[in-house]
Amino acid sequence: MTVNDRIFSEARKHLVGGVNSPVRAFKAVGGAPPFIRRAKGPYLWDAAGRKYLDFIGGWGPHLLGHGHPGILAAARKALARGTSYGLPTEGEVELAKALKGALPSLELVRLVNSGTEATMSAIRLARGATGRDFILKFDGCYHGHADGLLAAAGSGLATFGIPASPGVPDAFARLTLIIPYNDLPALRAIFRKSGRKIAAVIVEPVVGNMGVIEPQPGFLQALREETRRTGTILILDEVMTGFRVAWGGAQRKYGITPDLTTLGKVIGGGFPVGAYGGRADLMKRLSPEGPVYQAGTLSGNPVAVAAGIAALAALGRADYGALAETTGAFCDGIREAARDRGVRVAVNAVCGMFTVFFGAGPIVTAADARRCDTKRYARFFNTLRKRRVLFPPSQFEAAFLSFAHGPRELAFALRAIRESL
């Protein structure tokens, strides 16, 4: 039994499945997850002292690499002044200003503690503002674990949601309409039929949660057109893409102005911070200015906020063009290695995030992603892990690059990938 096996076995006696978030259990690939002791730059060290080149990136936050000195210093300084006050601080104003500086669609901001809190609160606000109950989401997009967002698609062009989790009442799931991502005819059809009943559309502008899938040309634009025509609130869920695919997120990259945006991950520098914001007339419907209620004891926590400000300050100086190029070149390297080995893969990538699908491309919908060979992905993952390269333990999770992944690390990873393929 290895050290990690032993800890995992102990963990399972005390924590459900041994973990505090299901994906960490590595169920899709088998075996114990590595229990992490420390991290630095692009590397993680597990309880057995093994060093891994990390492509999980904390599931998104660590765009600057682990333990960024600016973030650590800011958090330490804030910590010395106390852990939380439950009263407002100047730091919260500063973080809101930094978010607004990068995303001009944010006229007013509310800070929360997670991506889930941001998305569920944005939906409540959209419902409160429109007086409508239905929401529309896309098959395969993940927006956190709130009840109405845990609905899976049935078959057909557009279908009422069926709960994907016991505990979600049918009545809630029925309010979630689902259509395939990147499916323009389905989008036009559902808006023709039900547009004026839909409070909000929530979408990952680049999907990370069925593996990486880019919006097809015109898809986000059509979404903006239809929502505007029908008075539906457009929520871009940038919890993953915000400050990752570009400074200013996917909305800047693809030129879409949403009504509301949800953020998380990168904006907390590895601490629990989420945010939502957008049109002032909508945001002013939130308590204490308006009647829609949402609150949080630890929202805007001073240590987390200080870390977020430091992360955004560093990212404001970062070269996203270079990261996009690095991502492209790295993914070309994977494609070339697969070609040489006669393995059919489709590699989808957008600045700082990518997925290796074992199957024929193009992968543009959740159905395409589901058709790929996930068992082969699991074998690939496990062989890579033996070579000390840690990919996400599921094909349906995005792999992340950071600004700390340099040429040496990427050459090491490509060698390991070539051998593993």
Ligand X SMILES: Cc1ncc(COP(=O)(O)O)c(C=O)c1O
What are the CA-CA distances from residue 115 to residues 119, 263, 271, 393, 399 (Å)? 6, 6, 12, 21, 18
Residue in 18, 144, 277, 392 binding ligand X, rule: CB under 6 A: 144
Q: How far apart are CA 95 and CA 156, in angstroms?
A: 43
In the complex, the smallest distance separating the C-beta of residue 413 from ligand X, rounded to whole angstroms, is 23
Q: How far apart are CA 250 and CA 203, in angstroms?
A: 11
In the complex, the smallest distance separating the C-beta of residue 25 from ligand X, rounded to whole angstroms, is 15
Q: Which is nearer to ligand X, 333 or 352 (CB)?
A: 352
355 lies in the site for ligand X, by CB under 6 A: no
Residue in 239, 245, 345, 410 binding ligand X, rule: CB under 6 A: 239
Site for ligand X in 259-288 (CB under 6 A): 264
DSSP string, 144-198: -S-GGG-EE--SSSSEE-EESSTTS-HHHHTTEEEEETT-HHHHHHHHHHHGGGE
Residue in 4, 116, 261, 348 binding ligand X, rule: CB under 6 A: 116
204 lies in the site for ligand X, by CB under 6 A: yes
208 lies in the site for ligand X, by CB under 6 A: yes
Sole window of 140-148, 186-194, 307-315, 339-347 interacting with ligand X (rule: CB under 6 A): 140-148
143 lies in the site for ligand X, by CB under 6 A: yes
What is the dihedral angle through the alpha carbons of 182, 186, 189, 195, rounded to the nearest 10 degrees?
-60
Per DSSP, helices labelled H in 183-278 are 184-194, 219-230, 249-254
Q: How far apart are CA 114 and CA 229, in angstroms?
A: 31
209 lies in the site for ligand X, by CB under 6 A: yes
Q: How far apart are CA 256 and CA 319, in angstroms?
A: 22
Give 46's DSSP letter: E
Size of residue set near ligand X by CB under 6 A: 15
Residue in 4, 105, 114, 251 binding ligand X, rule: CB under 6 A: 114
Q: Which is nearer to ligand X, 7 or 307 (CB)?
A: 307
Provide the terminal-to-terminal Cα distance of the chain, rounded to the nearest Å: 27
Local structure of 393: helix, strand or coil: coil
To the nearest 10 degrees (0 to 180), the angle between helices 320-341 and 407-420 is 20
Sole window of 38-46, 67-75, 115-123, 333-341 interacting with ligand X (rule: CB under 6 A): 115-123
41 lies in the site for ligand X, by CB under 6 A: no
Residues known to be catalytic? 142, 237, 265
Sole window of 113-121, 178-186, 280-288, 334-342 interacting with ligand X (rule: CB under 6 A): 113-121
| Structure tokens given for 82 | 């106390």
214 lies in the site for ligand X, by CB under 6 A: no
Q: How far apart are CA 194 and CA 250, in angstroms?
A: 27
Residue in 142, 219, 330, 403 binding ligand X, rule: CB under 6 A: 142
Residue in 18, 41, 42, 115 binding ligand X, rule: CB under 6 A: 115
In the complex, the smallest distance separating the C-beta of residue 99 from ligand X, rounded to whole angstroms, is 16
Print burial letters for 124-154: b (CB count within 10 Å at least 16), e (below 16). bbbbbbbebebbbbbbbbbbbbbbbbbbbbe
409 lies in the site for ligand X, by CB under 6 A: no
Contact positions toward ligand X, by CB under 6 A?
59, 114-116, 119, 142-144, 204, 208-209, 237, 239-240, 264
